[in-house]
């Protein structure tokens, strides 16, 4: 075996290694090959005086074009002037802090890469006039004390790292349509409130607007192929990468959108307002320092999260961290001091694994993640999600009392869209009560249905709930259910209020016995369908069907039928004020006081249910009633 290994090694030594980089020095300039016919010039501290860089060099019988200069004269104290070669493409830190450099000739009209200012710290830069300093077609520095609007000229290809630094009086930046590249931290500590990214800008470095205290939103041209902005936050076009969160964006809670798989380096670094971040399932990678130096009190990582750089560095206000993975990922914590007072929440079965992990075990307290019996769209709500529920909602609040199994919707607004058959609000446990406070709304678009409730559900309270599904079902009851004392308005496309139905061989089963007790319920469809469907029974207490007149529940057809014997389509109104049609104020009489009550309702000075006031059944309470 050793004989064969020796033969292989000898063969490798005899074969020319053309793939290896070739390095050599000519006239104190250090060249390194970057392709078969190109070289770059690396740092060459011995080169000095007046230098002419050749367009090409020959070494060992082979000629190479000079196309790149990286750190060539960085910190050089000898070079005074340089003539650049034709065909130069890349210049990174080329003359950085070259303290004697006063002249650069033959600067190329275009550079592919000058993302790090080639002339920073040189007399050559110092001698440039105030304003935006350009090198080739790159903006590399801003001199003087600009105020107000700073405009970059058309023809600018890139803006280098740190170009606009500590100019707080610059309140607006105008980027040219020609721009292709924005360097890492191109803008630092300036007074902008927004940054408009043109269509052609296809490369944006990390933390591009660092420590800009008033910066609240990115705006991206719709035709930009690589980037987009949602609610002011910068994402990749496919929404799989969160690129940057504006440093001055208000709000203490951020829920990362579903579908984001990666968070870019330094994405949240400059923001000092966020206290709670919730990452949804699908997130895999959080890059280096993405959450560094944040005033975070809580952060939630999904079970899909598997890769991280330095994690939570400098987040010394942490109170709770939620990790949904059952196996601890490799966590890089540069300091553990701030973890000793925080609680780490993990799946109950994984507590010991986290306690025994060399990194995660440094947390001071451990507890189990508590799964709650409902979900909102794609989010299965647990104590981590409940902690940020106000950001998951589009208004209002939701609380949960586990002792009474009560979900309270307090002026909650839920908007959900999707292409799959799911529900905007899904209750997944038996015997849950939904308590309504104020005016609540559940809206579903796409293929999404409105609301699902498990067996023995109760909808109650003194408030109102409006459920709308644009293309599917409104409210689905899996088993027995009660609607009590509240107002429920349901609009579906194919079905309004739906009960469970199972068709097994030789037997059909309807599983929903629905009781409506002293409640006002309106259910309707906007497409071809039925406002009630597949109910085993319907019991009305202290209320009755007021529209269509004479309609009643048919136990054989399992839905409400009209006086003609056919299933009701369109709309059904059930009211808890049924003593007489038109008895708006529910005093047992229909008289002039009801006219006054209706007028006050139309004017908005009195509150009576839509079901009672919509006398002509057109779906609108107005003067026609």
Reported as a single tens digit per residue, the pLDDT across 59-111 is 999 999 999 999 999 999 999 999 999 999 999 999 999 999 999 999 999 99
Confidence (pLDDT) at 13: 43
28: left (phi over 0), alpha (psi -120 to 50) or beta: left
Confidence (pLDDT) at 608: 61
How does 17-37 read in b/e, with b if 16+ C-beta sit within 10 Å?
A: eeeeeeeeeeeebbbebbeee
Mean per-residue pLDDT for 432-452? 94
Residue 6 binned pLDDT confidence (cut-offs 50, 70, 90): very low
Helix (H, G, I), strand (E, B) or coil at 63: strand
**Separation of alpha carbons 496 and 196, rounded Å:** 44
Residue 369 binned pLDDT confidence (cut-offs 50, 70, 90): very high
Whether residue 17 has pLDDT greater than 70? no
Whether residue 586 has pLDDT greater than 60? no
Whether residue 134 has pLDDT greater than 70? yes
Lowest mean pLDDT among 34-43, 132-141, 163-172, 352-361: 352-361
What's the chain's average pLDDT? 91
Confidence (pLDDT) at 381: 95
Whether residue 598 has pLDDT greater than 90? no
Confidence (pLDDT) at 609: 62
Mean per-residue pLDDT for 16-20? 50
Whether residue 420 has pLDDT greater than 70? no
Lowest mean pLDDT among 127-131, 230-234, 577-581: 577-581
**Separation of alpha carbons 181 and 183, rounded Å:** 6
- pTM strictly above 0.85: no
For the chain, helix (H) and strand (E) counts, in that order, are 7, 58
- For the chain, give the percent of residues with pLDDT over 90: 78
Mean per-residue pLDDT for 504-531? 91
Closest-CA residue to 482 (of 408, 525, 431): 431
Please check whether residue 488 is in contact with residue 522, taking contact to mean a CB–CB distance below 8 angstroms: yes
Mean per-residue pLDDT for 516-537? 95
Whether residue 350 has pLDDT greater than 50? yes
Confidence (pLDDT) at 614: 74
Residue 579 binned pLDDT confidence (cut-offs 50, 70, 90): very low
Whether residue 11 has pLDDT greater than 50? no
Closest-CA residue to 135 (of 170, 92, 199, 189): 92
Confidence (pLDDT) at 4: 46
Confidence (pLDDT) at 166: 96
Residue 9 binned pLDDT confidence (cut-offs 50, 70, 90): very low
Percentages (nearest 5) of helix, strand, coil residues in the chain: 10, 40, 50
Residue 243 binned pLDDT confidence (cut-offs 50, 70, 90): very high
Whether residue 239 has pLDDT greater than 60? yes
């Amino acid at each position: 075996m050793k004989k064969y290994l020796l033969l292989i090694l000898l063969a490798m030594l005899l074969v020319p290694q053309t793939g290896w980089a070739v390095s050599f020095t000519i006239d104190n300039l250090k060249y390194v090959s970057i392709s078969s016919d190109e070289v770059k010039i690396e740092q060459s501290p011995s080169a000095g005086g007046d230098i002419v860089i050749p367009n090409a060099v020959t070494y060992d019988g082979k000629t190479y074009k000079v196309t790149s200069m990286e750190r060539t004269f960085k910190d050089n104290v000898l070079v005074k002037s340089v003539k650049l070669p034709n065909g130069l493409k890349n210049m990174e830190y080329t003359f950085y802090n070259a303290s004697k450099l006063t002249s650069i000739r033959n600067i190329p009209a275009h550079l592919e890469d000058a993302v790090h200012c080639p002339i920073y710290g040189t007399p050559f830069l110092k001698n440039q006039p105030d304003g935006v300093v350009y090198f080739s077609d790159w903006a590399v520095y801003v001199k003087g004390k600009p105020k107000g609007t700073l405009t970059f000229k058309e023809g600018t290809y890139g803006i280098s790292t740190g170009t606009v630094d500590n100019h707080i009086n610059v309140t607006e930046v105008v980027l040219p349509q020609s721009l292709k590249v924005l360097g890492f931290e191109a803008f630092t500590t300036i007074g902008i409130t927004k940054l408009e990214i043109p269509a052609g800008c296809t490369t944006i470095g990390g933390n591009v607007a660092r420590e800009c205290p008033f910066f609240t939103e990115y705006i991206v041209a719709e035709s930009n192929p690589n980037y987009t902005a949602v609610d002011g936050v910068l994402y990749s076009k496919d929404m799989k990468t969160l690129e940057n969160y504006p440093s001055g964006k208000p709000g203490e809670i951020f829920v990362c959108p579903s579908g984001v798989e990666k968070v870019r380096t330094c994405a949240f670094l400059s923001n000092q307002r966020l206290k709670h971040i919730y990452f949804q399932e699908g997130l895999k990678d959080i890059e280096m320092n993405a959450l560094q130096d944040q005033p975070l009190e809580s952060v939630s990582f999904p079970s899909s999260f598997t890769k991280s750089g330095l994690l939570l560095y400098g987040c010394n206000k942490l109170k709770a961290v939620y990790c949904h993975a059952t196996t601890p990922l490799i966590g890089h914590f540069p300091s553990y001091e701030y973890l000793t007072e925080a609680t780490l929440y993990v799946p109950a079965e994984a507590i010991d694994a986290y306690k025994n992990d060399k990194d995660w075990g440094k947390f001071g307290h451990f507890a189990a993640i508590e799964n709650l019996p409902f979900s909102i769209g794609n989010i299965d709500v647990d104590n981590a999600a409940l902690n940020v529920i106000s950001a998951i909602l589009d208004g209002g609040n939701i609380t949960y009392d586990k002792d009474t199994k009560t979900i309270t919707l307090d002026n909650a607004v839920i908007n959900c869209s999707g292409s799959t058959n799911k529900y905007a609000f899904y209750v997944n446990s038996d015997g849950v009560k939904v308590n309504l406070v104020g005016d609540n709304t559940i809206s579903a678009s796409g293929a999404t249905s409105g609301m699902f409730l498990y067996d023995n559900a109760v909808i109650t309270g003194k408030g109102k709930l409006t459920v709308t599904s644009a293309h599917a079902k409104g409210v689905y009851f899996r088993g027995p259910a009660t609607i009590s004392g509240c107002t429920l308005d349901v609009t579906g496309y194919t079905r309004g209020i739906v009960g469970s139905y199972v068709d097994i061989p030789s037997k059909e089963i309807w599983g929903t016995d629905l009781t409506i007790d002293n409640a006002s319920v309106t259910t309707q469809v906007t497409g071809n369908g039925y406002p009630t469907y597949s109910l085993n029974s319907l019991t009305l207490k202290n209320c009755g069907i007021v529209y269509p007149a004479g309609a009643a529940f048919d136990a054989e057809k399992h839905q409400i039928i009209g006086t003609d014997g056919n299933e009701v389509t369109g709309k059904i109104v059930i009211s808890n004020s049924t003593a007489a049609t038109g008895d708006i104020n529910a005093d047992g009489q229909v008289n002039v006081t009801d006219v006054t009550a209706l007028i006050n309702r139309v004017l908005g000075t009195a509150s009576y249910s839509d079901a009672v006031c919509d006398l002509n059944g057109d779906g609108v309470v107005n003067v026609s009633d």
